[in-house]
Amino acid sequence: MFEILKSFESKYGGLKKKGLRIEGLSMIDPKRKKHVIMISKPFLFDNRQLPKSYEGLEIKSKIEGGLPEEFKLEKETVKKEYLWAPSKFEKYVDRCSNDIRKQFGNPNMTREEMLDALAFGSFEDHKKKSVQLMKEGKIPPFKLN
């Protein structure tokens, strides 16, 4: 398993310049002995550059550092509001598209590309999954733009 981690580090280690931190292996389910590769990254990170899994191990990530104002929640609304609601990504991209293009070094980046980069690799997939989780009652209701 450590060989997989070393291979992951050699393949994706170049992303450390962009804020990626590879934290190592972590066991998330001791009963089934399920391990994952833990990473952390800044909010403004192109998630399309990372796989969802690597050689059979799922990639679990957390955001390090601050979040844009669209994603900040008050303590009393934490359970009433979905942090990763699709509309929040859209509002952020619409407000900060020039900064996002500059950060990613791509002056021709489209709105859709920015949404995909920020919303875990595919904005449309994130939107569909969020709507499904909302219908199942697993996340608080949110409005779609």
Q: What percent of the chain has pLDDT over 70?
A: 98
pLDDT in tens, 107-145: 999 999 999 999 998 999 999 999 999 999 999 988 886
d(CA 5, CA 36): 10
pLDDT (tens digit, 9 = 90+) per residue, 48-84? Answer: 999 999 999 999 999 999 999 999 887 776 678 899 9
Q: Residue 21: which of 36, 39, 47 has the closest Cα?
A: 39
Picking from 71, 23, 15, the residue whose alpha carbon sits closest to that of residue 45 is: 15
Cα separation, 98 vs 134, in Å, equals 31
- Domain chopping of the chain, boundaries: 2-63, 69-135
pTM, full prediction = 0.86
Helix axes 86-104, 123-135, angle to 10 degrees: 160
Spatial separation of the C-alpha atoms in residues 25 and 35, rounded to whole Å: 7
